[in-house]
Structure 1
Amino acid sequence: MFAARPIPRSSRTVRSGRPCRASLIALLMVLHGLPATAQTGLRPSIAGTTSPTPATPEQLKQREQELEAARAAQKAAAEAQERLKADIATLGEDRGKLNQQLIDVAAQVRSVEVRVGEAETRLRGLDGREQDLRSSLESRRAEVVEVLAALQRAGRRTPPALLVRPEDALQSLRTAMLLGSVIPEMRGRAEKLSTDLGELVAIRKTIATERDKLATDRDKLRSDQTRLAALVEERQRKQASAEKDMEAESARAVVLAQQIDSLQGLITTMELDLKSAAKAASTASLQGVPINSRPDANALRNPGRKAPAIAFASTKGMLAFPVNGTKIREFGASDGAGGADKGISLAVRAGAQVTTPCDGWVVYAGPFRSYGQLLILNAGGGYHVLIAGMERISVNIGQFVQTGEPVATMGTTSQVASILATNVSQPVLYVEFRKDGTPIDPGPWWAANEGEKVRG
């Protein structure tokens, strides 16, 4: 920034069609980063030259009010937490209602995640445009001063007496000719500066509006995530009471996983050697839903179901991605190590909510090799769905989960080393479908658009 030059006063105004002096002064002030009202007598303060003054009674009163407001907010938050606990406890008494709440709140979280992501993308574009305009205007500081000074000089000059001497008349003529060529150019430059500043002001207003909306959505996201965490905790508490040996089973699963090298070996071992997983696999075989030529998505509205509402083979073109994200690796693409990808990879937001794309039974939930946290669902009919790369899984082996139910959350960095996403700074989720132990292309199962996605 540079210091504003003193501006001589003048009672004359600029002719009609030219930018007015006051407007240009305001323009100059904005360019300097100063308030538009600060047009004269600028006195920058010098840091460290004033000694701290004791707080006034008004300041003390304001601090007391802020403290009281903080205490009230803390009390309100505690009361809200207690109401939430009571609400969740009531829901926990009805498994169907609890499941429906889980699915509904998880959907709300993912919806707000989308809005937050879109708002952040718009803000990046707006911030970039603002920076470009500021840089452009900054590079034309000298031009602003030149235009302003020229207009002020033109406004102060009085016309010479044309009949005093011939030399005066000639000088007057030459001046008129010069102004006739310079003023249009000056006007054009001033108008360009004014247009750029007008756009800058409009962009700043838009940015402020977008930031307000973003703050509101983030507040809602935090609120929804708090409720979702409480619902998940209640769901797992009830699951734990039903499966007394759940912790021992989970620990044994991790030990077995450390002794296995391949995904198919992990699936086979879990479904044969682990009681909870074996029970889930057996149930998947016994309760498999027959393939329907025209599956009814309304069958997914029953939150109390304990088996898939629609056969996995019949859900082609109906499934949603487990998480909001951008596909960065396709099925069959080179994996960078001489092989081909057996699934797809999605770049996602840090802390994103992961939901199940389909109904199924959990046959493995825990760390595995270079996949980070791995979740394997037996969807029935010989199909398995593998989801990897999460930071935390919130379901247990043997548990039946419904379409759209929250099952995990993402971390802040990629945890799937095997996809070699060296150029991706954000977390990555890996998804793989298998039929009778063989990886298959999941492409036909994904919905073409949001309106066609299966939601519980």
Structure 2
Amino acid sequence: MPHQRLSQPMPVKKPLLTGILLTGACLMGQAPALAASHTRHAAPSASQKALDKAKQDREALLSRKAREAALIDAQRKAQTKAAQEAALQAERARHFSALTDQAAAELAATEKQIDSLTQDIARLTEQQTRQRAALARRRASLQAILPVALRLARYPSTSFVALSGQADKSVQGLSLIAGLTRLTTRQADDLRGQQALLDQTAQQLAERNDALEKAKKTQARLRDVNARKMDAATKQQEEAESRLKQARAEIASATAKAATLDDALTAIDKTQARLRARMEEEAKALALQNQKEKSQAMSSQAKRLSGSTGSGVSHGGGHGPVAGSIVTAWHQDTESGPATGITYAARASSPVSAPCAGQIDFAGPFRSFGNMIILDCGRHYRFVLSGIGQLSVASGQNVGRNTTLGAMDAAGGRLFVQLRSGSTIVDPRPYL
């Protein structure tokens, strides 16, 4: 009986059983959470760190490129504005130049009029002198017979009676009196005519002198106007040149900040095309105004400001732009693919010479290229030379073939030389 009592299960109260079950369930439910919490607090792996760093580097690179793109865009906008202002200043300069031409033409006409009046005055003065001399001679000849003429005029009867005793002498006397009368009348007429000519000459001289005085005043006024307009035109032209120079500086700055060499060359091409188009339009407008010399000057300026006047590339002597040996030949295999140029191991402080004649589109530091020069040879050819230690040329400068562009560092260095025809990279060897 006691055994039977022990084998029977002890009764359990329902509230206590329920609490035990709930506690177990809670512990089982918390197990995954505790495991997750443990996982979160575990140290990241090396691969995770590398991935996070790569992401951060990529985001930093994208951010830097975005800033550079914004900066280049701002520079291009500023350059466009400067070019527009320069075009406006050039238009004003052309306007003042046209006014100056008009003033110069008026001044030339006035000076020609002054010369003509001066010659007329000299001729009339000489004529007046001759007329006065002739009048004096007429008066002298008339003065000799004037007493006799006056006596005959006052006492004709007495003079005639004095000759009446002799018939032949009377006839001779009458003839003499008649001739003397005619002579006196003619002399008097000559005197009046000579005096009229003298008076007319004096009137003409007075008119010429008045006209000369007015012409001289006009000449002085036109010279002042011409000088002021010339000064204004010169100032406007200088301002236009300054604007264009500033625009080129901004282009060079944008080139230096370009992400790649291709972007830099593209920026240069676009800017040059815009400048060339504007200057050529101005040259055409001048040609339509029959200002041939100014049109030619504008065309020359367009070539000088917006493109090289070089004749392209020509075959060289094979000595290269710098003294040294070739360490990377054209199209030689490299880690980044076939070489796009020639790399020289240059001697210490050796000069770097221009492989062609042309214009310096860019001269300055560029990315990892070091000091770089972009030389426009003309006919869409450009040489790119980078790795120069010291530069001796500036952007916008014209150079001849073999002109010294700079020098390598005192420790030597490597000079990279690339040749482009438009956007195509070509073998530079035949032209070095």
With normalisation by structure 1, the TM-score equals 0.33
Which structure has more helix as a fraction of its residues? 2
Structure possessing the higher radius of gyration over alpha carbons: 2
